A and B are shown apart, each in its own frame.
Chain A
Amino acid sequence: MSAQLRTPIKIARGLGSAKHGVHHFMVQRITAVALLGLGIWFVWIVLSMLHMDYATARSFVAQPFNAVLMLAFVGALFWHAQLGLQVVIEDYVHTGGVELALQIAVKFLCFLGAAACVLAVIRVALGS
């Protein structure tokens, strides 16, 4: 007999796999798949805009199709960048305070970058 007075089901309940252990891994891969398409699209967009004057370039990005894909691109981009930088810091920075500061800085910067891009795309798309 076990020294435990609780039944095994009582111990197991609520502690089983919620499949969250691979969340970081999965999101990194999902954003990677998104960036596979969006990254190629972005290169094409940049190449298309190389010799446009300002007004043409602006109205090009303002087209709903391009504006929506640009929002998706910057979202996936900064999310993927944050996940990747997080792992690099985890792997190579082993000083508690510095690691924490870098992890917070990376998250803040990635959010600010994404927010700035989203605002800019919305301003371009809405013409304000």
Chain B
Amino acid sequence: MPDTARPLSPHLTVYRWQIQMVTSIVHRGTGLFLALGTALIVWALLALASGAEAFANLRAFCASWLGLILLLGWSWSLAFHLLNGVRHLLQDMGLGYEPRQFVLNGWLATIGSFVLTALIWAAAFMQRGGA
């Protein structure tokens, strides 16, 4: 329970979903998810420092279904957070606030995040074919 039980104004439920709010919410969501993903980075670096066996365990986890689904989620989250983050940095400088521009660059960041994710995985699979 909050310390002060103040009345709340109508919130998310009364608004039509639109790109402006979705990018903002998803930016936070991906940020939280990426923060959880730092656990894998810690594991990976510790495994690299500790030996071949630990590294093999890490590799087995990443190649498992759970690992692949998580990596897919983290790669898209990184792509979205990165592109929408650039958008936020531009907004901090006062750019791209016209409603038309705002909607357009919201869609650009969203579609771009899927393109970037596809590129990352294409690069990963091409290596498998090439090697």
Q: Which residues of A contact B (CB under 8 A)?
A: 29, 32-33, 35-36, 39-40, 43, 47, 50-51, 54-55, 57-58, 61, 70, 74, 77-78, 81, 84-85, 88, 94-96, 113, 116-117, 119-121, 123-124
Which residues of B have CB within 8 Å of A95? 1-3
Interface residues of B (CB under 8 A from A): 1-4, 28, 31-32, 34-35, 38-39, 41-42, 45-46, 48-49, 51-52, 55-56, 75, 78, 82, 85-86, 88-89, 92, 120, 123-124, 127-128, 131
Main secondary structure of the interface of A (DSSP, over half): helix
Beta-carbon contact of A116 and B42 below 8 Å: yes
A77 with B82, Cβ < 8 A, contacts A43-B120, A51-B127 known: no
Contact call B49/A74, Cβ cutoff below 8 A? no
Most chain A C-beta atoms within 10 Å of own C-beta, residue among B4, B45, B124: B45
